[in-house]
Amino acid sequence: MPQLSPLMWVFSFLMILFFLFGLILLESNFKHTDKNVSSSLNKSFVALKW
């Protein structure tokens, strides 16, 4: 099994944290049905994908 470098461990850990944070934000958005916040979130996600 290939050993990951410490930098890769930190990067994957941050990605998991960001993913969980995004899920929490999306859930709160659905509860409040705030369309402005969800549209800005979609824009930030698209910017991150590029």
Q: What pLDDT does residue 50 have?
A: 58
- Does position 1 have pLDDT exceeding 60, yes or no? no
pLDDT digits 0-9 by tens, 2-48: 777 889 989 999 999 999 998 888 877 766 655 566 677 777 777 76
Give the integer Cα–Cα distance in Å for 4 and 15. Answer: 15
Q: What is the pLDDT of residue 36?
A: 61
Question: Residue 34's pLDDT is what?
Answer: 54
Res 18: pLDDT: 94
CA distance 10 to 32: 33
pLDDT score, position 19: 94
